[in-house]
């Protein structure tokens, strides 16, 4: 770089502020991408590792490209401004194009089918194929080639499309900035340190602003719009720096128009989130907060229309009531001889909570829900789309108290003890679901039971069953619903039948169009499997723990 070029370079303190803004935009985009990919990939435990791999890989690749590039450019400062402006611009344009085109052109049908499905693309066939190849057999790979292609396109091609180009530009920008500001050999180390510190401070600010405020107050679409407009400042600098005459102002007008056009091409929240779960905007109600995105969806406005509540893209529980979640609440409610105080972790559609509330002797039900807006989502959904008497019942029941915090921590650290403690059913492969399927959680629940109290869980895997049986001396297994206690659990079909025939119980379940006799037949027609204290728990291995939530990552022990 010549001295003639150097005389127009900004003072170094200004560059630190410029790079601070760069860090703010970068981390803000990363958090926004995570929110989007969580929905697109359906909140599996591999979403964040995939994001982080592409993010860091893009930075590394871009840095190597930038090292070679700086030797061939005369004005690295101008190119730095251009690339920094293109980072959020590409991010917004890529998302807007995908949302506009998916579901409308045949080439993207593979994505639309995935978004419309209720389950993530399973990794098991892929792992089986890889295992077969390692053993010298390509049969499994051949049999699963179609699934492997779908898995790869959804879990790798889509995130790479959204994230890789901007992160590569981030990586290229750092060598360009160094070439711009490093004019004094004696100051190289100090300048590198100050620039990195400024970038880190900006990144921290982005994490706080977006994570704690922006997503909650203005939502993902407006957060992305603001980031694009902030990136437009770099494009303005690129248009103006060391240019003269009408060309400078023409470029300024062009980049301003492009930036504003891309910013406002981002679809509204209703359109964005409905598209990313494969639904129509009229079929959903949603709410965003810093901790999660909640969506309630129904394919039909009638109460018997099939639908789901999605948390960060994962369909956690279905409409209408009557499936697994119903039995999860119904069984302990009718089994316990005299329940008074109950705690349930998770709200979802309200199915488990509604079913548990069917026992009229229960005086207090504490529903511990992480998403503060979840009851509001259910209310709006019910008022505008679903119109179910059962949802109205749980939102107006004076016995039900909502507590908004982490359920596992609340149970463990609280002073209160309960007759029944249970967690709503979660997909075991969902991110963080291992917290509620671990041996450690079951021990925490056991410690907060009243004498004769029950802990309850859904057991979607053999490993959950093992973890639960290891934690409780007495366990009854009703299909995939487990009931555990410190003391022997009395199972008396005659008493259960009397409780079910209570007219108040019958009327309660009728609000959800449920027949208690049919529920009883599904829940109690077979004698439950019993695990007593004589079972040697030391022989139970391969369990879920807080540190090793194996089911969450589909870890299979091969013997």
Looking at residue 267, its pLDDT comes to 96
Looking at residue 301, its pLDDT comes to 56
Categorize the per-residue pLDDT at 84 as very low, low, confident or very high, splitting at 50, 70 and 90.
very high
Query: Up-side HSE of residue 174: CA atoms within 13 Å toward CB?
Result: 22
Residues 532, 487: Cα–Cα separation, whole Å: 10
Burial code (b: 16+ CB inside 10 Å, e: under 16) for 299-336 equals eeeebeeebbbbbbbbbbbbbbbbebbbbbbbbbbbbb
Burial class for 498, CB neighbours closer than 10 Å (0-12, 13-18, 19+): exposed
Categorize the per-residue pLDDT at 122 as very low, low, confident or very high, splitting at 50, 70 and 90.
confident
pLDDT tens digits, 145-162: 888 888 899 999 999 999
Strands 341-345, 314-319: parallel, antiparallel or unpaired by DSSP?
unpaired
Looking at residue 244, its pLDDT comes to 64
Q: Which residues pair with 430 in a beta bridge?
A: 44
Tell me the two tokens of residue 94: 């890529």
This prediction has a pTM of 0.89
Least confident span in 82-86, 143-147, 319-323, 472-476:
143-147
Most confident of 67-71, 138-142, 418-422: 418-422
Residues 325, 374: Cα–Cα separation, whole Å: 17
Strand spans (E) along 334-408 = 341-345, 364-369, 400-404
pLDDT tens digits, 330-374: 999 999 999 999 999 999 999 999 999 999 999 999 999 999 999
Looking at residue 2, its pLDDT comes to 44
pLDDT value at 249 more than 90: no
Residues 263, 265: Cα–Cα separation, whole Å: 6
Domains and CATH numbers, the chain: 3-271 (1.20.1250), 319-553 (3.40.50.150)
CB 439, CB 543: distance < 8 Å? yes
């Amino acid at each position: 770089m010549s001295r003639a070029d150097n005389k127009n370079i900004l003072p170094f303190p200004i560059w630190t502020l410029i790079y601070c803004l760069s860090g703010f935009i970068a981390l803000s985009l990363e958090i926004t991408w995570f929110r989007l990919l969580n929905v697109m990939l359906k909140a599996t435990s591999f979403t964040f590792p995939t994001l982080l791999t592409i993010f860091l890989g893009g930075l590394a690749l871009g840095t190597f490209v930038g090292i070679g590039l700086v030797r061939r450019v005369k004005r690295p400062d101008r190119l730095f401004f251009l690339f920094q402006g293109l980072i959020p611009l590409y991010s917004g344009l890529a998302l807007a194009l995908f949302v506009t085109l998916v579901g409308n052109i045949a080439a993207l049908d593979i994505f639309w089918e995935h978004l419309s499905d209720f389950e993530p693309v399973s990794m098991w066939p892929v792992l089986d194929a890889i295992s077969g190849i390692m053993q010298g057999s390509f049969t499994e790979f051949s049999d699963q080639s179609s699934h492997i292609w779908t898995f790869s396109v959804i879990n790798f091609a889509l995130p790479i499309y959204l994230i890789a180009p901007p992160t590569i530009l981030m990586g290229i920008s750092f060598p360009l900035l160094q070439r711009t500001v490093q004019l004094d050999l004696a100051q190289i180390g100090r300048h590198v340190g100050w620039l990195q510190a400024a970038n880190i401070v900006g990144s921290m600010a982005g994490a706080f602003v977006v994570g704690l405020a922006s997503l909650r107050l203005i939502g993902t679409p407006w957060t992305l719009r603001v980031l694009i407009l902030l990136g437009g400042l770099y494009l303005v600098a690129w248009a103006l720096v060391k240019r003269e005459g009408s060309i400078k102002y023409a470029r300024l007008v062009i980049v301003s128009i492009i930036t504003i056009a891309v910013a406002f091409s981002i679809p509204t929240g209703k359109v964005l989130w409905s598209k990313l779960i494969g639904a129509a905007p009229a079929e959903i109600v949603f709410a965003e907060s810093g901790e999660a995105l909640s969506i309630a969806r129904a394919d039909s406005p009638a109460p018997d229309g099939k639908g789901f509540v999605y948390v960060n893209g994962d369909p956690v529980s279905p409409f209408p009531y009557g499936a697994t979640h119903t039995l999860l609440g119904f069984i302990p409610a009718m089994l316990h001889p005299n329940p008074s105080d109950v705690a349930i972790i998770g709200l979802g559609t309200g199915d488990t909570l509604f079913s548990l509330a069917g026992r009229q002797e229960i005086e207090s039900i504490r529903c511990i829900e992480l998403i503060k807006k979840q009851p509001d989502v259910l209310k709006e959904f019910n008022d505008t789309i679903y119109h179910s008497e059962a949802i109205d019942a749980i939102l107006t029941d004076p016995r039900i108290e909502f507590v908004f915090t982490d359920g596992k921590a609340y149970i463990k650290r609280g002073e209160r003890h309960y007759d029944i403690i249970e967690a709503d059913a979660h997909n075991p492969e969902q991110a963080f679901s291992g917290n509620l399927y671990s041996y450690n959680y079951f021990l925490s629940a056991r410690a907060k039971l009243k004498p004769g109290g029950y802990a309850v869980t859904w057991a979607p895997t053999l490993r959950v069953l093992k973890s639960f049986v290891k934690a409780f001396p007495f366990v009854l297994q009703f299909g995939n619903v487990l009931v555990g206690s410190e003391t022997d659990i009395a199972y008396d079909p005659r008493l259960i039948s009397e409780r079910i025939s209570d007219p108040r119980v019958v009327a309660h379940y009728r609000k959800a169009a449920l027949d208690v006799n049919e529920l009883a037949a599904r829940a109690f027609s077979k004698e439950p499997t019993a695990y007593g204290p004589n079972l040697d728990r030391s022989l139970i291995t391969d369990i879920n723990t807080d540190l090793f939530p194996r089911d969450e990552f589909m870890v299979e022990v091969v013997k």
